[in-house]
Structure 1
């Protein structure tokens, strides 16, 4: 496929200047079309594509080069415009550039001077068009992703919601069998029933997590100034009650306040701290440290523990829904907590990441706007 020549609209009230340019520019790979009247030039621009307008600053009394420039850009915002001007009107040429002209050329000029200016201007136009096309594709791709996410969230909500009723029935019948008939049932049957109950309970926890995750995309953010240190202490106290007599040393440092949805931010800290409580369980001296700092306009918070850690080669899986780096026989859980934390942080415009070593603990960090 042959690439079309760049089309240049030449506008000058000096007919000899227009003729000279239209006669010589084709030798350099351009397709010029010339006019001595601005209105005729604009009519041509409305009729067919042009890549560049080369116009004299002084035209007819009713329209100068700046007025032509503005009218041309109104017709085609992707045009590039070069102003031709005499030495005495450089200040006006600068005004034309402020109005949207890309460059100007001083008259009289040699063709060897104008060709590099045209090449540079057309290169700028190509970049503008490529950037506009890239932005359009990004917008389309973003819209497609958003639509897919909405569909996925709706599907997840529907599936999780519809699973709750049959799971409740399964658990109810299994519990009733154990309670009413356990003396008559063989030991092997009881073991199998208990397995059914355990599996159904795990599935219920998974569906509850799926429901919470799907609701995050629908729940509007209610941002306010949050006193983060107090929020963290509340989460720690709740986790201490959940974990009973187990002694975990939790050190809470200076934590800068931030602007966030308080309930959702509390969920982030609760999930990350819960992760730390869980994975320090094998330690005789479990220690969790919560710190924060301000860096480049962000509030960055860190939760560090001396637990079992994980292999950094698997770090990318950490924040995916239902992703577990440890077997259920080692640590309980559904693999949804960190996914929820990541979704909340991302909805606030922040980021979340982790560092760890096997058997040497882990540090989870996330950022929030000021």
Structure 2
């Protein structure tokens, strides 16, 4: 069955009735539905009553000129396309019409061969505006749906993690009691089994704690302000040095630009990235960590680089997913939640986070905060 294409509805406004009627009668009826008025107020009433695709208005009219009419019409329908008709084809006329939002203008007396191409261009713009408006509406609706789904997922994650903590604590507690009270009486086999239960339970507790921290990020409001990022980096480095006081780790901190953000959350990003740098340089004879920052294209970009274990870039797409680990747990401890938390914080600031690495040669983590 052939698709029915609706005619383009054109609102023709000219205070000279003969001119208005002549134009309405001249426009091809198979393609256009022309509706004519000699008064701007009557034309606006029609626009409020029914859809129109294009306004074709005379520039000079008593009571309401074409530019005033066009502005009022676009308040009713912002996607309406306007063309101004004039017998005074000066540059000033064209400029004023364009300033008022007109797409084009045509001169009197009319030549159909000139008018039709102008109308077609204007209607193409009208269709593009409507398609863009529809797309924007669909994006808004989809964004709202995704935000609601994310909130539900975060609430579900929080609820599940919170509910799991109680029975898991009982399991770990009983295992610990058995070890403390009866380990000396057991042969090696049962003792190892209970020890494995306790170790696995403690690991699961750490995973649950990470899941709770991740779910809380979605509900925690941002408290933005000026952040001295350089001072924050040095504070975190000093804290990590105290935790790793038996190691000699060289840390170079360059010029770090300040930014605007949530200081507590950005501190957590730096803690997670720098803690990883300290951890994954553990096997290096001369561990080296470098922190730099710069301003580029409206963003403050920060980089934490190390000469540690690195990772395979073919797995980089999984890097910031929760509970993803690229190294064996017997080599490097952790739950795989830290980078996911860092990524969530940066995204909530409207920024980006990414990494480059090479196995055995270290990694560099970057994140940006918009100005």
5 Å matches for 1:1-370? 1-26=3-28, 29-59=31-61, 61-87=62-88, 91=92, 94-370=95-371
More off after superposition, 18-27 vs 247-256:
18-27
TM-score w.r.t. the length of structure 1 is 0.93
Provide structure 1 residue ranges, at least 5 long, that are not aligned to the other structure: none
SS of the equivalent of 1:328 reads coil
What is the aligned length? Answer: 369
Relative to structure 1, the CA distance from residue 7 to residue 369 in structure 2 (aligned partners, 3 Å threshold; closer, same or farther) is closer
Relative to structure 1, the CA distance from residue 229 to residue 34 in structure 2 (aligned partners, 3 Å threshold; closer, same or farther) is closer
How far apart, CA to CA, are the structure 1 residues paired with 2:280 and 2:75?
63
| Paired residues of 2:301 and 2:368 also in contact (CA < 8 A) | yes
1:28: how far off?
7.0
SS of the equivalent of 2:355 reads strand
1:100: how far off?
2.8
Misfit runs of 4+, over 6 Å: none
How far apart, CA to CA, are the structure 1 residues paired with 2:29 and 2:63?
34
SS of the equivalent of 1:83 reads strand
More off after superposition, 233-242 vs 283-292:
233-242
How far apart, CA to CA, are the structure 2 residues paired with 1:260 and 1:58?
54
Render the CA deviation track for 1:268-317: whole Å, top value 9, x for unaligned: 11100111122112222221111122223322111111111111111111
How far apart, CA to CA, are the structure 2 residues paired with 1:350 and 1:57?
48
SS of the equivalent of 1:236 reads helix
SS of the equivalent of 2:185 reads coil
How far apart, CA to CA, are the structure 2 residues paired with 1:244 and 1:180?
35
1:77: how far off?
2.6
What RMSD over aligned residues (CA atoms) do the two structures have, in Å? Answer: 2.0
| Paired residues of 1:57 and 1:93 also in contact (CA < 8 A) | no
| Paired residues of 2:7 and 2:30 also in contact (CA < 8 A) | no
1:369: how far off?
3.6
How far apart, CA to CA, are the structure 1 residues paired with 2:38 and 2:267?
70
TM-score w.r.t. the length of structure 2 is 0.93
1:88: how far off?
6.7
1:183: how far off?
1.4
How far apart, CA to CA, are the structure 1 residues paired with 2:369 and 2:57?
52
1:148: how far off?
1.1
How far apart, CA to CA, are the structure 2 residues paired with 1:90 and 1:231?
59
Provide structure 2 residue ranges, at least 5 long, that are not aligned to the other structure: none
| Paired residues of 1:85 and 1:93 also in contact (CA < 8 A) | no
